[in-house]
Amino acid sequence: MQAGDLNQVTAVEQSSAEHPWRAAHFADSLRSGYLCETARIDNRVVAHCVMMAAAGEASILILTVDKQHQRQGIGRRLLQHMIDLATRASCDTVLLEVRRSNDRAFNLYLSEGFSEIGIRKNYYPVGSGREDAIVMAMELTTFSFNLD
C-alpha cells in the first residue's frame, strides 16, 4: 500500500466494513511504518491489510476484502501473506481481534491456525450498542535441528 492507493483503499473500506476506517487511519499507518498491503485485480485494490510488528509480535489491525470479491480466497491469501511478513520480521506471534458476530472471518482464522485466546468485552461499536471482540493468536514456530 502506498499513499496513492488511499482513495481505492478507503472506497473498499467504506463499501465493505460496518464501521470503516477513514483515510487518515491508513495514512497514519503508512507514516508509522506499519506493514500495509493490498491485493489487486487488474490493478484495482480489492483488499487491504494493516499489521503492526514490534518486539517479536505482530498485530493485524484490519483486513478487509471488497464485498464483490469476498469468498474467492483473496482474504485467505492476503492473510497468509501477512503471516509470511510477520515471520520474516522475526515475530513469534501474530495477534488479531474479530467481531463475535463475524463467523466467516473467525472460521477463516481458525482454519489458518489461529486460536482463541480471550475476549475483549464491548470492544466494537454495533448499531446503538457494543459487541465483544474475540482475541486470536497464532504462534509462529521456527524449527532447527541439530544433526550431530
* Nearest CA-CA partner of 46 in 86, 77, 22: 77
Q: Which amino acid is at 27?
A: A
The one catalytic residue among 34, 109, 124, 131: 109
**Angle at which helices 103-111 and 74-88 cross, to 10°:** 50
What is residue 55's DSSP assignment? T
Distance in angstroms (rounded) separating the CA atoms of residues 94 and 53: 9
Return the sign of the alpha-carbon dihedral for residues 119, 19, 30, 32: negative
CB 48 within 8 Å of CB 1 = yes
* 109 noted as active-site residue: yes
The one catalytic residue among 13, 34, 97, 124: 97
* 34 noted as active-site residue: no
Q: Which residues are catalytic?
A: 97, 109
